[in-house]
A and B are shown apart, each in its own frame.
Chain A
């Protein structure tokens, strides 16, 4: 083949292909691998688009006791089955009577969370007997299948299920949601959250479960205009609040002591607009101390 205008002779045969490969090995292999990568990325991209439309795989808890739950199937329930009638109690009781407690209240507490809770573990003043299950990036969808270092960032890795299985806690504090702002809708988030809480309750029937509100972000971070914004957080918090039954599930609006008059995380308490600084953690801790429930009504 001859392209006269450009003065290029193009002869394609086996020899010329081989010699091209010898002369330009990188160019040819990069072009080929780019094509492969582009195809893979495109396929992944369409998967992501689908999953964000379809939200997330349903994690269903069977409320009918005659059927076995996925957890029972997994063989991690140790005979502490809870009748379904109690689990599905959504009838909200009168606003709960909170008490102020001493630090030893948290000795048998488990804190579940993301990097915000990692900060509480590293720089906070919770008693050393308390347990933290928290990693950077933790989110509600991954929690059940996740592993984490206990204590965070220094201890050995442990899976969430073996932690739940190995030890009974008196109180479980959950602070999750900031990493879930870009996944699904607020409704799908709340319904998944509800399922997770109910699973935890099945595994830890004697524990009081505290759902902590997702801490708002600073006005400056809010102004960046991505999915991580306060309107999104507020919407999710409103739905989380409805999960409380004030029997064994309580909702704690920690934002009460952390936000400014505009509803954004007070800029004095944070450097990056998302995490509480070490010197501001006492606000969070004091709020938890002042909003404790003493006895749980397990019938």
Chain B
């Protein structure tokens, strides 16, 4: 169940909120925990017991690793418990997410001998990628004695499973919300505030990301070999906007839901497309993921405080895993390695020029990021090659290719593209702050803001209804 669906907004959320708000303080965590399990089961019934089992294992081992109340617990046994827990957690992720990828690659190697391993029928548990990173953060921090383990399995379960961030993050640390798990202010004011954030995210997803997704889907309609060069570039930009507003919108909705519950969920995006180099881009894009890789992989390897070859090695490891984490397919590995290449290039050579000439930096980011997203989007390497030949048609174009496709799409999407550019910058926020200061205290402000948000909400709701929940009203082809 995604946040931008009728089921979530009209069924799950209101019922849950009523239960949550009338529940006595001491039971709010339990209600949130149970609500989150229902939310999970709505999307994936099969693996709910597995996730609960994993929770139990991690709760017990978290205590063992901390050695709390067991003075004889030696450093060595703590380390052994840590290793067992890490193997268990990463083992689950690897088994469910990467088994078939491994089999496919072994099959390629074996094909010379005429042998083949059948592909396993493994369905990936919902949320496993984010869940694993979240639980590993907890276990490692407990091992490092950064904080004490959760003393109550419901508290740990609430932290891990709470539905605002269960499926797609943000990934945050236990200590960030531990105080709020003990005590938090659940007020109607928070509900009002959270609703604002939620609606902004809902609008970003439904009004901007979804149509950009349709634009992108147009690329494959008549085959990648049929698209003209300007249309291919338009598609790359369209996909860049789709993936940004989709994920940014989702993260805003998560933040808004957190606010409604009295829980602070960290920011995940900070206008990434206005960056001037790739390292800045990755400080602004999916911020909580970058933070995780830094803390649990990059720094333990020595980070940037070591010799040049080691820094390069560390960067390579981080980006190979970042790529692989996004999906079990070679294009994701390639995508990660491209960022490794660009970041290394920036560190040792290009960075200084980008620093000196900000315009150059913006052009560099705005042209390269869409290309990296194309690599991200194409799980088929053959398609990827075809697409790049259309982006850079040095080899010439087939006779039937025409720029009609570009102009046709431009007529349909120009206003949305302008809106996407506008909302990718800091301009909307700046304008909002300016207008707030100017009209502070006026009744106009008090009603204009909710009125605008209400319009966004109604438009998004109607769009959601007419596209996804009513497939027969929407003729796709």
Give min CB distance, B173 to chain A, whole Å. 31
Q: Which of B6-47 contact A (CB under 8 A)?
A: 6, 9-10, 14, 22, 24
Q: Say whether A277 contacts B24, CB under 8 Å.
A: no
Q: Say whether A137 contacts B477, CB under 8 Å.
A: yes
B-chain residues with CB within 8 Å of residue A147 when the two chains form the complex: none
1/0 per position for A124-149, CB-CB distance to B under 8 A?
A: 11000000000011110000000000
B-chain residues with CB within 8 Å of residue A153 when the two chains form the complex: 404-405, 407-408, 411
Give min CB distance, B310 to chain A, whole Å. 44
* A178 at the B interface (CB under 8 A): yes
Binds A, one of B60-68, B137-145, B451-459: B451-459
Give min CB distance, B452 to chain A, whole Å. 10
1/0 per position for A186-217, CB-CB distance to B under 8 A?
A: 00000000000000000000000000000000
A-chain residues with CB within 8 Å of residue B474 when the two chains form the complex: 137
Q: Say whether B192 contacts A33, CB under 8 Å.
A: no
> In the bound complex, what is the Cα–Cα distance between A44 and B469 (angstroms)?
12
* B270 at the A interface (CB under 8 A): no
* A280 at the B interface (CB under 8 A): yes
B-chain residues with CB within 8 Å of residue A45 when the two chains form the complex: 470
Which residue of the partner chain, among B407, B454, B477, contacts A178 with CB atoms under 8 Å? B477
> In the bound complex, what is the Cα–Cα distance between A50 and B461 (angstroms)?
23
Q: Which of B402-417 contact A (CB under 8 A)?
A: 402, 404-405, 407-408, 411
* A236 at the B interface (CB under 8 A): no
**Among B199, B217, B226, B457, residue most surrounded by chain A Cβ atoms (within 10 Å):** B226
1/0 per position for A3-34, CB-CB distance to B under 8 A?
A: 00110000000000000001111110110011
* B393 at the A interface (CB under 8 A): no
Q: Say whether B400 contacts A125, CB under 8 Å.
A: yes
* A182 at the B interface (CB under 8 A): yes
| Closest chain A residue to B453, Cβ basis | A26
Q: Say whether A26 contacts B196, CB under 8 Å.
A: yes
Give min CB distance, B241 to chain A, whole Å. 21
* A179 at the B interface (CB under 8 A): yes
Give min CB distance, A194 to chain B, whole Å. 21
How many contacts between A and B, using CB within 8 angstroms? 133
| Closest chain B residue to A116, Cβ basis | B477
* B373 at the A interface (CB under 8 A): no
Give min CB distance, A223 to chain B, whole Å. 14
Which residue of the partner chain, among A24, A25, A137, contacts B188 with CB atoms under 8 Å? A24
Which residue of the partner chain, among B22, B192, B222, B404, contacts A26 with CB atoms under 8 Å? B192
A-chain residues with CB within 8 Å of residue B428 when the two chains form the complex: none
Interface bracket on A: 35 or more
* A279 at the B interface (CB under 8 A): yes
Q: Say whether A25 contacts B225, CB under 8 Å.
A: no
* B366 at the A interface (CB under 8 A): no
**Among B400, B402, B471, residue most surrounded by chain A Cβ atoms (within 10 Å):** B400
Q: A34-B9, A275-B477 are in contact. Are A52 and B472 (CB under 8 A)?
A: yes
Give min CB distance, B177 to chain A, whole Å. 24
Which residue of the partner chain, among A41, A123, A183, contacts B222 with CB atoms under 8 Å? A123
**Among A25, A45, A116, residue most surrounded by chain B Cβ atoms (within 10 Å):** A25
Q: A30-B195, A125-B400 are in contact. Are A280 and B446 (CB under 8 A)?
A: no
Q: Say whether B196 contacts A271, CB under 8 Å.
A: no
> In the bound complex, what is the Cα–Cα distance between A124 and B199 (angstroms)?
44
| Closest chain A residue to B472, Cβ basis | A182
Q: Say whether A279 contacts B408, CB under 8 Å.
A: no
**Among A5, A29, A44, A114, residue most surrounded by chain B Cβ atoms (within 10 Å):** A29
> In the bound complex, what is the Cα–Cα distance between A6 and B224 (angstroms)?
62
Interface bracket on B: 35 or more
Give min CB distance, B255 to chain A, whole Å. 16
B-chain residues with CB within 8 Å of residue A279 when the two chains form the complex: 223, 225-226, 398, 400
A-chain residues with CB within 8 Å of residue B407 when the two chains form the complex: 153-154
> In the bound complex, what is the Cα–Cα distance between A38 and B462 (angstroms)?
10
Q: A33-B454, A33-B458, A179-B475 are in contact. Are A278 and B226 (CB under 8 A)?
A: yes
> In the bound complex, what is the Cα–Cα distance between A88 and B236 (angstroms)?
52
Give min CB distance, A31 to chain B, whole Å. 8
* B221 at the A interface (CB under 8 A): yes
B-chain residues with CB within 8 Å of residue A276 when the two chains form the complex: 222-223
> In the bound complex, what is the Cα–Cα distance between A125 and B457 (angstroms)?
46
Secondary structure at the A interface, as helix, strand, loop or mixed, is helix
* B447 at the A interface (CB under 8 A): yes
> In the bound complex, what is the Cα–Cα distance between A48 and B472 (angstroms)?
9
Q: Say whether A25 contacts B450, CB under 8 Å.
A: yes
> In the bound complex, what is the Cα–Cα distance between A178 and B475 (angstroms)?
9
Give min CB distance, A149 to chain B, whole Å. 9
> In the bound complex, what is the Cα–Cα distance between A123 and B454 (angstroms)?
44
| Closest chain A residue to B473, Cβ basis | A48
> In the bound complex, what is the Cα–Cα distance between A33 and B217 (angstroms)?
32
A-chain residues with CB within 8 Å of residue B411 when the two chains form the complex: 153
* A86 at the B interface (CB under 8 A): no
* B77 at the A interface (CB under 8 A): no
Give min CB distance, B17 to chain A, whole Å. 10
Q: A26-B454, A153-B404, A153-B405 are in contact. Are A179 and B10 (CB under 8 A)?
A: no
A-chain residues with CB within 8 Å of residue B477 when the two chains form the complex: 114-116, 136-137, 178-179, 274-275
Which residue of the partner chain, among B10, B223, B224, B383, contacts A34 with CB atoms under 8 Å? B10
Q: Say whether B457 contacts A33, CB under 8 Å.
A: yes
A-chain residues with CB within 8 Å of residue B184 when the two chains form the complex: none
Q: Say whether B402 contacts A23, CB under 8 Å.
A: no
Give min CB distance, A234 to chain B, whole Å. 18
Which residue of the partner chain, among A26, A124, A272, contacts B221 with CB atoms under 8 Å? A272
Q: Say whether B192 contacts A23, CB under 8 Å.
A: yes
A-chain residues with CB within 8 Å of residue B188 when the two chains form the complex: 23-24, 27
Q: Say whether B470 contacts A48, CB under 8 Å.
A: yes
> In the bound complex, what is the Cα–Cα distance between A152 and B411 (angstroms)?
13
Q: Say whether A123 contacts B402, CB under 8 Å.
A: yes
Q: Which of B373-414 contact A (CB under 8 A)?
A: 383, 398, 400-402, 404-405, 407-408, 411
> In the bound complex, what is the Cα–Cα distance between A27 and B197 (angstroms)?
12
Q: List 30 A-B contacts (CB under 8 A).
A: A6-B22, A6-B24, A24-B188, A24-B189, A25-B446, A26-B192, A26-B195, A26-B199, A26-B449, A27-B188, A27-B192, A30-B454, A30-B457, A34-B14, A37-B462, A45-B470, A119-B222, A122-B402, A122-B405, A123-B400, A138-B475, A153-B404, A153-B411, A271-B383, A274-B477, A275-B222, A275-B477, A276-B222, A279-B223, A279-B398
Q: Which residues of A contact B (CB under 8 A)?
A: 5-6, 22-27, 29-30, 33-34, 37-38, 41, 44-45, 48, 52, 114-116, 119, 122-125, 136-139, 152-154, 178-179, 182-183, 226, 270-272, 274-281
Q: Known A-B contacts: A25-B447, A114-B475, A183-B472. Give 18 more (CB < 8 A).
A: A23-B189, A24-B189, A26-B454, A27-B192, A29-B450, A30-B457, A33-B457, A45-B470, A122-B226, A123-B400, A123-B402, A154-B408, A178-B477, A182-B472, A271-B383, A277-B223, A278-B226, A278-B398
What are the 6 A-B residue pairs with the smallest beta carbon separation, nearest first? A277-B223, A278-B226, A153-B408, A137-B475, A26-B450, A25-B450
